[in-house]
Chain A
């Protein structure tokens, strides 16, 4: 890369163009078994140990769809507001490749199970709704390793037949940032719905990025190029940036963009054609006669609908509206479904006035604790009622907040079975609100510092903090700061 290239001025030729992007997102589903046979579908495992006659494509074998594959597709379809098709079909997509033993991939071409749908994603400070063309079920191919041997490619068929969903967007994305935002939102959603681990490093989520450019204001799309198998958000952004520049440069030189499939090399940051034109694929889709049509009954759809969790966007709205949380707190609490459920349970047994404090407790104390201890929130040791007692003690001014969080909470984590009140008692944390006792302490401090009293009365009002601090020391931290402050001011001003 040539670092000496001068950045184009702001009103550069690149600004005359608009980028148009559509994605094909592949999501590997977290079923136990494969899409059309009973082999183990999980990631990992020693090579070629998750196999059957069906995934090996032996003659005479018959595929059978996995019920959960269809359920997961419908679950995601419902979450995206797709039009769920009562009848859908499986088709064969034909091509030869060493990691595809059948010579075809089972997919849905004529009538996918889910049509349409949208997802609203945050772009900067605004939101944008991305439309989907459809979602279809398909199976994955095996894995080819090209670098282990100089003359041969090695094939591992564990992944052959693993269930996938392909999510096809409309060409609604306009930048690498939007690609990133959509992939992030989709990963969050598939995890929320418990249909995939969404792990891009292990290939559970990857996308093909279709990129074209056109002059701003143009109403027709430019010729697009497809960047295959992008498996990280960072690569997606870089591939888009490179490809947009390449296409604009080409057009500006009077050239034409040729529709082709590209590979993005993260090492060099450039895209290169993956397949030459004469090898252009002709997939010759046709109905798979081995697989009966999928017909979804009312009962089947109703059951999936009943089992749907509240969606993150809906839950955020509830937290903001009913629990008076800030948008940011709501966002943090809905990042992970288990955290959201935990907060909802905590808040449901909590006096309404403490809900905001409960949110702060979860965000500022519980989440960091879980992170350092590496445990799930469901295993947080302190019971809801104990936590609420702690919040109530602070709210009532019986314990000051720093004592509650720095002394009482750690003590409860050590002994989660003891009650909050007993523990606070044992640690002697209750604030003394006995004003007569506080007054004697204040009088002591005033008597010991006559010069500062004079200075205060001459106008050094900031000194009140000194009197509050000294009295608090004598009270060993057990004075209610609000009451103490009021009393100190009364003494100093008389």
Chain B
């Protein structure tokens, strides 16, 4: 698989990034290098080998359903770039 310019543009959109022409070239190079490495891994026969997803052996690490007060509104809003007394504020996002 080759990372071409069209795919870079799609990835930009998915990642909400805007790259310069120069950055695009650099990213294209790195991504193609990574894919090459993965393709090499792909040559190994992994039939019957369970994928390693979790590095811990833990299962069912559940909580009981109990409410604990955590973060006050003022503290929660204080880290936001934009907020009023009650809400986080973001540039208008209506899907049209």
Q: Which residue of B lies closest to A48 (CB)?
A: B73
Q: Which residues in B have their C-beta under 8 angstroms from that of A157?
A: 76, 88
B19-27, B31-39, B40-48, B62-70: which lies at the A interface? B62-70
Q: Which residues in A have their C-beta under 8 angstroms from that of B55?
A: 289
Q: Which residues in B have their C-beta under 8 angstroms from that of A301?
A: none
Which one, B59, B87, B91, contacts A48 given CB within 8 A? B87
A51 interfacial contact with B, CB 8 Å? yes
Count: A-B pairs, CB below 8 Å? 130
Query: Interface extent on B, as a size class?
Result: 35 or more
Q: Would you give the shortest CB distance from A394 to chain B, in whole angstroms?
A: 48
Question: Given contacts A67-B62, A282-B14, A295-B59, is CB(A155)–CB(B68) below 8 Å?
Answer: no
Interface of A, helix, strand, loop or mixed by DSSP? loop
A294 interfacial contact with B, CB 8 Å? yes
Q: Which residues in A have their C-beta under 8 angstroms from that of B82?
A: 152
B93 interfacial contact with A, CB 8 Å? yes
- Bound-state CA distance A68–B67 (Å) is 12
Most buried by A among B54, B70, B84: B70
Q: Would you give the shortest CB distance from B18 to chain A, in whole angstroms?
A: 14
Residues of A9-39 contacting chain B, CB below 8 A:
31-33, 37-39
* Tally of contact residues, A, Cβ under 8 A: 54
Q: Which residues in A have their C-beta under 8 angstroms from that of B62?
A: 64-67, 70
Is there an interface contact between B65 and A33, defined as CB atoms closer than 8 Å?
A: yes
Q: Which residues in B have their C-beta under 8 angstroms from that of A46?
A: 73, 86
- Bound-state CA distance A48–B87 (Å) is 7
- Bound-state CA distance A202–B58 (Å) is 37
Which one, A51, A89, A278, contacts B71 given CB within 8 A? A51
B77 interfacial contact with A, CB 8 Å? yes
Residues of A259-281 contacting chain B, CB below 8 A:
263, 274-275, 278-279
Is there an interface contact between B65 and A98, defined as CB atoms closer than 8 Å?
A: no
Is there an interface contact between B63 and A67, defined as CB atoms closer than 8 Å?
A: yes
B1 interfacial contact with A, CB 8 Å? no
Is there an interface contact between A33 and B73, defined as CB atoms closer than 8 Å?
A: no
A141-149, A232-240, A413-421: which lies at the B interface? A141-149
Q: Which residues in A have their C-beta under 8 angstroms from that of B2?
A: none
Q: Would you give the shortest CB distance from A45 to chain B, in whole angstroms?
A: 10
A458 interfacial contact with B, CB 8 Å? no
Chain A interface residues (CB < 8 Å from chain B):
31-33, 37-41, 46-49, 51-53, 56, 64-70, 89, 94, 96-98, 144-146, 148-149, 151-157, 263, 274-275, 278-279, 282, 284, 287, 289, 291-295
A-B contact pairs, 10 of them (CB 8 A): A46-B86, A51-B70, A65-B61, A67-B65, A69-B65, A89-B53, A149-B89, A153-B92, A282-B14, A293-B59
5 closest A-B pairs by beta carbon, nearest first, are A52-B70, A154-B87, A68-B65, A38-B68, A155-B88
